[in-house]
Chains A and B, each alone.
Chain A
């Protein structure tokens, strides 16, 4: 069970390539804040050079630092929550033509059978809803 290595890869009859990941941890989502307070193009050119470093710092703050701190704070909570639960997440990831992730949630007793069923469905080009899992559909990217 790993977040970073697929437990199964499937190629469907029409050529779609899927990777199935099984994990107990729901990673916190990367949520970007708003970078910068204004539009650099609208700044008076006389002050543009003075404001540029602040705009860059502001963008870094909103787009990188705040989301990173959020993930760093929430990650241990997510890991602890996953470890104490018997719930297991199964994610089917397709990278082409665009990245898509579909989620099922099951229990650790049923995970093998559910992965088998999902993989069999994907190989036939279908997203199945096995009895032993709760299908949540496409995950927001």
Chain B
């Protein structure tokens, strides 16, 4: 209750306001499983990665039902891009984004770091399954970033460490997104 009150006072956004955007790309989780490798599946992967990122950011919010305004902004952008990627996967027309949406500030909150870490782990798991090899060379960069995150993952980190964690997670997410596009797009 107190956390919800604090979230409200801070100007956090009710997660329900993101539902309409999320509903537009709800098929992303299934479509990437159904399509054969190729450009359409690469677009479906992009939609899957974007939706996973947004979902994890929203679900990591500590105050039930509220999410920080900057997380909400990024999640909304990711949902919109995911919906566009789904259209590309279905129609073949258009171009998938080159990268995941960006934050507007350099230092991430604890909730945002948790969401980013969960998203990176989920994307890594998907790619490792696709490659049928948990130790595939392509995963080495992701694992380096995850190892860096492990080294600095402490309770109540100061801004310096949160900045480094955010950078490592961003690099890892970018790597995962690009690697996934390559793997899913390979004929």
Interface set of A (CB-CB < 8 Å, partner B):
26, 81, 84-87, 103, 105, 107, 110, 131-132, 134, 136
Cβ contact of A84, chosen from B148, B152, B156, cutoff 8 A: B156
User: A26 — which chain B residues lie within 8 A by C-beta?
Assistant: 158
Look across to chain A and name the residue whose beta carbon is closest to the beta carbon of B156.
A85
The answer to whether B158 touches A105, judged by C-beta atoms less than 8 angstroms apart, is yes
CA distance A46 to B51 in the complex (A): 75
Q: List 12 A-B contacts (CB under 8 A).
A: A84-B155, A84-B156, A85-B156, A86-B154, A86-B155, A87-B156, A87-B160, A107-B154, A132-B151, A134-B152, A134-B160, A134-B164
The answer to whether B151 touches A85, judged by C-beta atoms less than 8 angstroms apart, is no
- Report if B163 contacts A (CB, 8 A): yes
Cβ contact of B152, chosen from A81, A103, A107, A136, cutoff 8 A: A107
User: B148 — which chain A residues lie within 8 A by C-beta?
Assistant: 131
User: A131 — which chain B residues lie within 8 A by C-beta?
Assistant: 148, 151
User: A105 — which chain B residues lie within 8 A by C-beta?
Assistant: 158, 160-161
Task: Enumerate B31-65 residues with CB–CB distance to A below 8 Å.
Answer: none
Look across to chain B and name the residue whose beta carbon is closest to the beta carbon of A86.
B154
- Report if B157 contacts A (CB, 8 A): yes
Inter-chain residue pair count (beta carbon < 8 A): 37
**B158-181, CB under 8 A of A: which get 1 and which 0?**
101101100000000000000000
Given A107-B151, A110-B151, residue A81 in contact with residue B161 (CB < 8 A): no
Look across to chain A and name the residue whose beta carbon is closest to the beta carbon of B158.
A87
CA distance A86 to B148 in the complex (A): 16
CB distance from A128 to the nearest CB of B (A): 16
User: A136 — which chain B residues lie within 8 A by C-beta?
Assistant: 160
CB distance from A130 to the nearest CB of B (A): 11
CB distance from A44 to the nearest CB of B (A): 50
Most buried by B among A26, A110, A134: A134
Task: Enumerate B114-154 residues with CB–CB distance to A below 8 Å.
Answer: 148, 151-152, 154
Most buried by B among A26, A87, A103: A87
CB distance from A125 to the nearest CB of B (A): 24
Look across to chain B and name the residue whose beta carbon is closest to the beta carbon of A85.
B156
Interface contacts beyond A87-B160, A105-B161, A110-B151: sample of 19 additional A-B pairs, CB < 8 Å, sorted by A:
A26-B158, A81-B156, A81-B158, A84-B155, A84-B156, A85-B154, A85-B155, A86-B155, A87-B157, A87-B158, A87-B161, A103-B160, A105-B160, A107-B151, A131-B151, A132-B151, A134-B161, A134-B163, A134-B164
